[in-house]
Amino acid sequence: MVMRTKTRVAYGFVSPYLLVFVAFWAWPILYSFYLSFLSTRRAPWSFNPTMTWGRLTQDPAFYNALWNTLTILAIQVPVMIALATVLAVLLNSSLLRARGLVRFAFFAPVVIGEAAYAAVFRLMFNAEFGIVNKALAGIGLPKIDWFANPTAAMTLIILAVTWRWVGYNAIIILAGLQSIPKDVYEAATLDRVTHRQQFFHLTLPLLKPVIVFCLVLSVIGSMQLFAEPYLITNVGGPGGATETLGLLLYKQAFLNLNFGYASAIAYTIALLACFFSALNLWLSREQQ
């Protein structure tokens, strides 16, 4: 009897969280899955999975958004992780002064509001009076219309995302660096192993779990990319050249009010994120 009373009390304490979880997490996920099989632009709503999911394979806008998303994923993520690793090594150097301040400076972009930093990037890369084009003109190079040229616009998105998140990943990798025992490097130094050899044969292998963790986070973030193409390149411009799956989902749900198709896109994003994350984990285990 006492055990039953304790169990009821325990469930009583847990029940508020469970109710919030069901109301704001479980139910929206299940309902969006149900919506992904509906044609919400027909009256009355019709349960038509063939038409809803089949549209993904016939929609040029979906293929364009998928290509743009995978392009950003293939270029931006490896570059960002490489820069973050190098930056973490520099931040871990004993020669660095005011390390706390420098680390905060590189982490600061994460806490800056997306609207604020997008406005700064739009000003910096403005075709007429932006500081970037003025610098190009100063060294004799032609100005670039960053918002009208598709390749330049995609480059701008990659630069913006890299700038925003490289410091965040560097701090995570730095924590991994500081967990490596110093005895390992002391033994390597006694064996006359150069710093370059230590980095490639000691540091990187020992950092592998942390780097894989950053890769998985970055892949998931890239699959959901929305703010940068929406705010910086004016809703995926020019002509959809920077439209991502996250932005296409937004357009279908809140501009076209096609919640069924938007839900199908959302689950496609989730499946792709799971696939690439699992691929990263599998490749990391295969190389061990």
CB 238 within 8 A of CB 149: yes
Distance CA 288, CA 280 (A): 13
Does residue 257 come out as left (phi exceeding 0), alpha (psi in the -120 to 50 range) or beta?
left
Beta carbons within 10 angstroms of residue 262's beta carbon: 22
Phi, psi of 242 (to 5 degrees): -120, 20
54-110 per-position pLDDT tens digit? 788 889 999 999 999 999 999 999 999 999 999 998 888 877 777 778 888 888 888
Would you say residue 263 has pLDDT above 70? yes
Predicted TM-score (pTM) of this structure: 0.87
What are the extents of the domains in the chain?
60-286
Architecture of domain 60-286: Orthogonal Bundle (1.10)
205-227 per-position pLDDT tens digit? 899 999 999 999 999 999 999 99
